[in-house]
Amino acid sequence: METKEDPIVRIVRLMLGEVAAKIFEHLYKNTSEIRDDEIAEALDFKLNSVRRNLYLLSEHGLVTYRRVRSKETGWYMYYWKINRESVQSIINARKHMVLKKLKERLAYEENNAFYICPLDGSRYTFDEALENEFKCSRCGAGLVYYDNADIVNYLKERIRKLEKSLKQKSS
């Protein structure tokens, strides 16, 4: 049984790798602070690796720590937790980036006419099709006009949803 992964965990994996993502996920699921040695034990990672990745996460503002000196040993203990505000701003920044790309793609779809190869599905803009004399450059078949209304509608819907979720978060 695979549990649904939070998108922020996926973003952290893309940014900082698998071990950092696992540690982040562990902290993300817990509301209380957790010591680095407790994380190492829970995830069965080496303590050095956990510490290295925790500092990596903190450099990116994803986690914060509280340092406490142990009365018994005199050593410092580090209590870690998720930096919730910073995580939210990273999610929002990511959404803005996706939104920008979707809008660029929408403009591209709306400002071009497209032709498609009926045999292998290769798609060409009008200019590309014209350059190839309306023949597929891969297989030579004659190109036909391609109606991209479905793509345009799909992009508009995704943009609408994303803009809505950004409005909700910021208010």
- Per CB under 5 A, 62 contacts Zn ion: no
120 binds Zn ion (CB under 5 A): yes
As measured in angstroms, the least distance from the Cβ of 120 to Zn ion is 4
User: 113 or 144: whose CB is closer to Zn ion?
Assistant: 144
Q: Which of 93, 97, 139, 144 binds Zn ion (CB under 5 A)?
A: 139
User: CA dist 36 to 26, 27, 51, 64, 114, Å?
Assistant: 11, 10, 7, 12, 55
* Contact yes or no for 121/103 (Cβ under 8 A): no
Helix (H, G, I), strand (E, B) or coil at 125: strand
CB of 128: closest distance to Zn ion in angstroms? 13
Size of the site for Zn ion (CB under 5 A): 7
When the beta carbons of 141 and 159 are compared against Zn ion, the nearer one is 141
Q: What's the distance, Cα to Cα, between the start and end of the chain in Å?
A: 36
Tokens found for residue 80: 């870690």
Closest CB to Zn ion among 137 and 165?
137
Q: Are strands 76-82 and 123-125 parallel, antiparallel or unpaired?
A: unpaired
Among 117, 129, 143, 155, binds Zn ion (CB under 5 A): 117
Helix (H) or strand (E) holding 158: helix 149-170
Smallest separation (angstroms) from Zn ion to the CB of 123: 10
- Which positions lie near Zn ion, rule CB under 5 A? 117, 119-120, 136, 138-139, 141
